[in-house]
Amino acid sequence: MTKTSNQMWGGRFASGPDAIMEAINASIGFDKRLAAQDIAGSRAHAAMLAAQGIVTDKDAEAIREGLLTILSEIEGGKFEFSTALEDIHMNVEARLKDMIGAPAGRLHTARSRNDQVAVDFRLWVRDQCDAADQALAALMQALLGQAEAGADWVMPGFTHLQTAQPVTWGHHMLAYVEMFARDRSRFADARRRMNESPLGAAALAGTSFPIDRHATAEALGFDRPTANSLDSVSDRDFALEFLAASSICAMHLSRFAEELVIWSSAQFRFVAMSDRWSTGSSIMPQKRNPDAAELIRAKIGRIFGANVALMTVMKGLPLTYSKDMQEDKEQVFDAADSLMLALAAMTGMVSDMTANRPNLKAAASSGFSTATDLADWLVRELNLPFRDAHHVTGSLVAVAEGKGCDLQDLTLEDMQAVHAGIRADVFDVLGVENSVASRMSYGGTAPVRVREQIARWKEALK
């Protein structure tokens, strides 16, 4: 393959770029990841040119065979990329010319690198949406496995990281199933919107050749061609939407990672992480560090940063294409890699972790977690206004604090000293199992409702 200055520019420039210009201008160091998509787009374009009589069938066949050979070389690690040829498009075209000669020069008829890169990048991002969807489905399955095992295991629910009300382990796991399901829907929604083909928009204005954009769109799995050539080559909304969906998904992963870090600590001991997802200390032999969760929590910043970086690149660009847009890919590539790694690691951790049921229950029983149940009982049984019931319950909590015990450990006399109407059956609502069982509203934490949601999600994920 040629290593001289880029001859694809033709006679406009008398000398090649110097080393610094070549370095800042070249994108082959990262956009070679688009090789499969670039070759797929070129094959569809060549087939369409032949079908429209713009190139001969013989030339189209030579192009097709040459492109397949180049793809094989790239996949086999035998292709030699050249920085002088700037990008994946020129590298492939130059190699094609080496292989088949003059017919290679006809491949670029009725297209530009502007629509070529737009279709390549769209195809790549579309593939990443599909990969994210599959990874999220696997994570949701792992969470459902945890939820099913602990559908009736009692644990504390928190607000402000303070014990609030008892919930079930299964209910907590299902909260993340709901979050990641919304992430799947965002990727699917973004995929639907990006599934239009910019190929054939050419440099910016379309082409005078009698091309069939619907044929190339169909060949590449798009729903339709894009409707405006100016927008086609300047649009990067598809990449921004992928990054936006990735950022929200990453935020969910980080929240869960934070909980796993807290839960696996010696102070909580809610879960034990397997050795596969933990590391030891170089000096403290007793340590088991939740490094995988911590790294997920940290990598999320790269995804957020990619989103901001591409928004910043695009915010000041007039229509249509500007070279600034070459800076669109590295951030997306890095964000996609980080997201897929984080999803895979989280799925592994969730699948392997072991919940400590006795510790979960002990924590759920502390911190006056059934105070709301007591207040609800006062409303239901004694017909107190809720604000009055709230005040009575607060007074009883103060009594329990003074005695160093929990609400269920108070005597009936203790309670009646605060409100004479309280009866012995109040203790029926003060156990944490009774508390969670009573939360029967749709979407509540009662085990029967949790099992209903597990069944619903298992059916949805089939």
Active site residues: 160, 281
Angle, CA 87 vertex, CA 119 and CA 71 arms, to 5°? 70
CA distance 381 to 196: 62
Give the count of beta carbons closer than 10 Å to the beta carbon of residue 218. Answer: 16
Joined together, the tokens standing for residue 284 give 């403290």
Q: Can you say whether residue 278 is alpha, beta or left, with left for phi > 0 and alpha for psi between -120 and 50 degrees?
A: beta
First to last CA, the chain: 49
166 with 364: CB under 8 angstroms? yes
Q: What is the DSSP letter of 102?
A: T
Give, in order, the Cα–Cα distances in Å from 57 to each of 47, 51, 70, 301. 8, 8, 20, 51
φ, ψ of residue 224 to 5 degrees: the values are -170, 165
What token pair was written down for 329?
A: 């890919």
How far apart CA 440 and CA 453 sit, in angstroms, is 13
- Provide the residue type at 163 as one letter: T
Q: CA dist 207 to 111, 112, 211, 212, 321, Å? A: 8, 10, 8, 11, 16
Contacts of 327 (CB under 8 A, 6+ apart): 309, 310, 313
Nearest to 41 by CA among 128, 133, 112: 112
Distances from the Cα of 68 to the Cαs of 71, 72, 247, in angstroms?
Answer: 5, 6, 36
Report the alpha-carbon distance of residue 457 to residue 462 in Å, rounded.
9
**Per DSSP, which regions of 114-241 are E strands?**
154-159, 162-168, 196-197, 224-225
Helix axes 169-194, 447-460, angle to 10 degrees: 30
H or E segment at 9? none
